[in-house]
Structures are given as structure tokens and as C-alpha cells.
Amino acid sequence: MLNKDAKPGRRAADQAPGAAAPKLAQQLSLVAQCVRGVMQGQSLNDLLVEVPGRLRPGVQALVFHVLRRQGRARALVRRLAPRRPAPAAEALLVSAVALMADALAGQEAPEGLRYEAHTLVNQAVEAAKRRPETGRHAAFINACLRRLLREADALQAGLDEDPEARWNHPAWWVERLRQDHPGHWQAMLEANNRPGPMTLRVNRRQTSRDAYREVLMAAGVPATPVGEDGLVLARAVPVGELPGFEDGVCSVQDAAAQLAAPLLLEGLPAVRADAGPLRVLDACAAPGGKTAHLLELADLDLLALDVDAQRCERVRDNLRRLRLQAQVKVADAGQVADWWDGRPFDAILLDAPCTASGIVRRHPDIRWLRRAQDVAQLAATQARLLEALWPLLAPGGRLLYATCSVFRAEGQAQAEAFLARHTDARSDRRLGHLLPGNAGLVADFADNVPGGYDGFFYARLDKTAS
């Protein structure tokens, strides 16, 4: 049964000194607009940019939680309203029901997202009245939510037979994971519905990881070491509160993404035979986290490409903050004739476009934006990029193929097909899928970390010297 006695939660963003806490109704109205946008195929990042800055942290926390519970919420709304409501009313209703979902399932909502049930009903109705497109549906929304309070058990009966309602992912996504990872799929789906920890990469050109950990401890932010340069924070903090962040001392980057640079450079000579720096290509570089990590680890002649001019500017911004230098160029890595100068690369990082199915705990809208056919389309793009870039690699060089995906078509199957096509390619055992959260590791190059990894795939492909 729904816990009607839970205390309403308040987020830190609602408690800024000297600022009145925004009403839940005001936030719910904005949350519903974001949810409606995602239903219509818009990226949540783009939608949140339109939210006023003072309200954005609280709205983001709420909308992330709603999207992590949206499958069950939509199933309940279908039972509450056999005729599909108007899009704006449906989005608001789904948002309110999703915020009740944990209590309906007998679970406790995360800290800061706990609201008394009748408060949610009243504030959802007030939110409806705030906008013309929902105002005429206020009585309908009120009736649906009050019926949910009265008939929660009956309305939820049998919901777990619907994969989308049970796992809060599209049914096709659930089935693909079940086939790709039969021993881990349930744990992966559960991990996706929990937020990932905030993880930092310390810029070793400015300080050591252990020294910066002491600085964080003094600032009241405990952290646990991970990998070579990483720190997993005990709690998330705004980047503006991280000591030295604006001066390039650290960056925010998940532990899985921090594996790319050392995997690419491990065992390669520090310089070329002609005593020059290694020539490295980061083929799909934006927003530049892996680009920067490579430059923090070694002195490189590095070219960073991205097809999007605005995203290239983000790479440049990141490099300036970290006091690093690279050539950044707007180009499609697959259209080699448009940008390559004919000189081979010693190492290539191909962090290829993918479904991003491994990072949905940080980007909960992705699961609702992707379609089943996207997997094959993106796998074809990945294969095209691999074929285009392999000839650019010098004999004895290395290509690291990476995706932030847990689908085998974008990882293991892609790498195996490439190795079958290319007799001059060899792979050590540095390949495999990392599974999100603590769902398990199907890779031989990583250890468990606090809070777990994002989902990723890596394959290290070496070109024979002959």
C-alpha cells in the first residue's frame, strides 16, 4: 500500500540561503514539460537547458526519478485512463504517478524525493492549473490520482507481467539484454534504475590522486580511489565546489571511461623511432574527456576529431581548462579524404557513436528515446568507421575500439567480426563488456569499484608489424 505518512522531501537546491524554496507544483509543471518532450523524442539535456537556472537542480532530480519509473507509471496511467489523455495531461499524470511509484511498490524513495501522497495529488492539480494546455484537465488528473490512492493494490495487480512496467525499460530493450547477457540481465536493469556515483579523474600533470583526495577530505568530501587517477565521491557535489576544478585539477568522468587512455597507451613506446611524440588520433572526441586523459598521461601529437562544430568547441574548452593542447578539427572520421594528411598514426581511439545503452543510469531518457532498429543502424556506422580508420594505423600500432553500450552487436560481436575480416589485426585479452553498476564484469581488465562502472565495451586491436 502507498505510505500516506511519509514526510515530504526537500532538495539542497530548494534550500539556498536567502532563496524561497520553489513550490512542488512549479517544479512538477516543468518536470511534465520535460517528460512530454522526451515522449516526443527530444533529448533531456536540451530540455533542461530551457528550465530557469534557479529551478534546474530540483527539476532535474525530479525528472531523472520520473524517467527511472516511467514504465510502471505509464502502465498505471493506462489503467487509470483507458482513453489516452491529451499529451500535456498525460505527461503530468505520468510524472505524479512515477513519484508515487516507490511507495506503491512498498519501497522507500531516495532522499530528497519523498513526498506525502496527498501532497503530491494536490500539487499535481495545482501544476495542471498553471498552464492552459493542462488547466482544463485538472479535474481529470485529480480524479485519477485520488483513485490511485484508493485502489492502489487492485490497479497494480498483474503489472509485473508487463516487462516495461516491471523493469522500467522498453520491452525490446529487456529482451535484448536477456539474450545478450543471460546471467546478468536482471541485475543490469536494476542498476540502470539507480543513479551512478560521481567519479573524478585527477589531472596528474597538476597533482597526484592521493594528494587531491586529502584536499577533498579536508573539504568534507570523502572519496575512494579507483583505477590510476580516479576518485569515487561518497556524495555528489556541484563542480563549482570542487577545489581547483576551474584551474584544471580534476574532471568528472566515470571509472569505465577512465580505462580508455591507459588501455590505448599501455605498452606503447613513449616516443617514435624518430624521437618525436607518438601520433595519436581521437576519432570521435567530443566532449573531450578521453582526449584530455590521453594528454594527461603522455606527451602526444594528438588530433581530435568530431563531426559537430559545437561539440568540438566543448573539446577546446575542456583542454583550455586543463591546460592541455591538441589539434581539434571538425570532420567526419569516416570521410578520411577530407581531413587526413597521409601520415599514419601510432595509436587510434575510436569511441564510436552507439546507443549509449551502458550509461542510462546517468541519462535515464536514453532508454525511452532509442528504438530497436537503432542498434543495427549504429552497428553499421561503427563497422564503417573501423574499416575507414584501420588503414590509417601504422604497422605495429594500436586501435582501441570503444562504445558506451552493453549490446553485443555494438561490442563483442562487432570486434569479433572485425578480427575475422582482418588478418593483420590481433587482439590480446583486453576486450569485453563492462556491465553497469554492480551487475558483474565480463571483462578481464577491470576490478569492481564503489558504485560500479557505467556499461562499456573495449577491444584493443593491434596491427601486425609485417
* The residue type at 49: V
Q: What is the 3-state secondary structure (H, E, C) of 281-321?
A: EECCCCCCHHHHHHHHHCCEEEEEEECCHHHHHHHHHHHHH
Three-class secondary structure of residue 375 per DSSP: helix
Q: Are 403 and 351 in contact (CB under 8 A)?
A: yes
Is the CB of residue 448 less than 8 Å from the CB of residue 190?
no
Task: Report the distance separating Cα 451 and Cα 34, nearest Å.
Answer: 27
Strand pairing report for 199-202 and 250-252: antiparallel
C-alpha distance from residue 156 to each of 124, 143, 352 (Å): 21, 17, 41
Distances (CA, A) of 401 to 23, 108, 257, 337: 47, 40, 12, 21
- Characterize the bridge pairing of strands 199-202 and 230-233: antiparallel
Q: What is the spatial distance between Cα 327 and Cα 312, in angstroms, rounded to a whole number?
A: 10
Distance between CA atoms of residues 334 and 281, nearest Å: 13
Locate 271 and state its grid cell. 616516443
User: What residues contact residue 82 under an 8 Å CB cut-off, 6+ apart?
Assistant: none
Is 404 annotated as catalytic? yes
Which residues, in sequence order, are bridge partners of residue 401?
350, 459
Active-site positions read 404
